[in-house]
Amino acid sequence: MDRIPSVNLEDFVSGDPNRKQKFINEIGKAYEDIGFVALKGHFLDDALVDKLYNEVKNFFNLPLETKRKYEIEGIGGQRGYVSFGKESAKGKKEGDLKEFWHFGQYVEDDPERAKEYPENVFVEEIPDFNTVGKETYGMLEKTAKYVLRALALHLDLEETYFDDYIHNGNSILRPIHYPPITKEPENAVRAAAHGDINLITLLMGAQGRGLQVQNHKGEWIDAIAEPDELMINVGDMLSRHSNNKLKSTIHRVVNPPRELWGTSRYSIPFFMHPISEMKLDVLDSCIDDENPKQFEDITAGEFLNERLIELGLKK
């Protein structure tokens, strides 16, 4: 496997059973082989993408003291601004060369669930940043729902198996700014090698070089999407739930060549999380004599908490 397969969500939602099954087969095989696909036919339109990038750049261009107003203590970086170098990959002490923002779930029909999450942080200086972020969150969440429906069928589950777990789930939209590199980085890269915590990740902004994925041979391959594609990968929660049938692949964002050090990079991942009480216990359909159960029982909330502590975002 030396490239990322491309699939089209329009096949799955076409109403044609053959096209639907084709999509299930293609995405299932890709996630068993390398854990990544490039997805066309998603629910984001070009105008919304352009607006979002514009607002994201407006936010990161604000003075540092203004951005710091939105860095909220005591919530593990789950909402608002996280300043440069604060987050590091599991097992790595150097902070990644990035700053980022978190939009979280917009709970509108469950007051008890709303109390579980920190509130979204409103940026006063650029109100459109907030509204465009919320709209994008909704479109990516909708896209993720259909991808998970296809994966449920691939795993011999009922098609809507994941629906109730992801409704009001603890998902995060994370606009990231990798600033220009001004001096030789000491052992630090824009994002060190890591696996994602969640069910699946939908990534905007993988058009240029930078994102790399490790294949089964341990080789790093470039993951470059077309302008109309999202890069979507399996996270550790889904890998665990499927007994590692679906692969959560190690990936990284490498520093650019020296001649491009003076440029910023932006990327915007959407981390699809379930509600905290979802059991990530290994599915019976993924256990057999050749593939015994590999993981202990755990809930999504317990697993997330463990990982946030490992990442240095929570004490």
What CATH number does residue 75 fall under?
2.60.120.330
| Exposure b/e, 168-205, CB count within 10 A at least 16 = b | bbbbbbbbbbbeebeeeeeebbbbbbbbbbbbbbbbbb
Residues 6+ apart with CB under 8 A from 14: 20
Give domain status of residue 296, yes or no.
yes
- pLDDT interval class at 255 (50, 70, 90): confident
- pLDDT interval class at 1 (50, 70, 90): low
Least confident of 91-105, 142-156, 229-243: 91-105
Counted domains in the chain:
1
Residues 194/90, Cβ–Cβ less than 8 Å = yes
Write out the residue range of the structural domain in which residue 76 sits. 6-310
Predicted confidence (pLDDT) at residue 207 exceeds the cutoff of 90: no
Give domain status of residue 315, yes or no.
no
What is the arithmetic mean of pLDDT over 225-235? 92
Give domain status of residue 81, yes or no.
yes
Say how many C-beta atoms besides its own lie within 10 A of residue 6's C-beta.
14
Instruction: Summarize pLDDT for 104-147 with one digit per residue, the tens.
Output: 999 989 999 999 999 999 999 999 999 999 999 999 999 999 99
Confidence (pLDDT) at 186: 67
Predicted confidence (pLDDT) at residue 206 exceeds the cutoff of 60: no
Give domain status of residue 57, yes or no.
yes
Give domain status of residue 1, yes or no.
no
Percent of the chain scoring above 90 in pLDDT = 66
Percent of the chain scoring above 70 in pLDDT = 90
Give domain status of residue 158, yes or no.
yes
Tell me how far apart the alpha carbons of residues 295 and 238 are, in angstroms, rounded to a whole number: 12
Of residues 44, 92, 83, the one with CA closest to residue 64: 83
Give domain status of residue 45, yes or no.
yes
Tell me how far apart the alpha carbons of residues 130 and 173 are, in angstroms, rounded to a whole number: 12
Confidence (pLDDT) at 190: 60
Predicted confidence (pLDDT) at residue 85 exceeds the cutoff of 70: no
- pLDDT interval class at 90 (50, 70, 90): low
Give domain status of residue 179, yes or no.
yes
What is the arithmetic mean of pLDDT over 83-87? 69
Predicted confidence (pLDDT) at residue 314 exceeds the cutoff of 90: no
Predicted confidence (pLDDT) at residue 67 exceeds the cutoff of 90: yes
Predicted confidence (pLDDT) at residue 52 exceeds the cutoff of 60: yes
Confidence (pLDDT) at 277: 96
Confidence (pLDDT) at 191: 65
What is the arithmetic mean of pLDDT over 276-299? 95
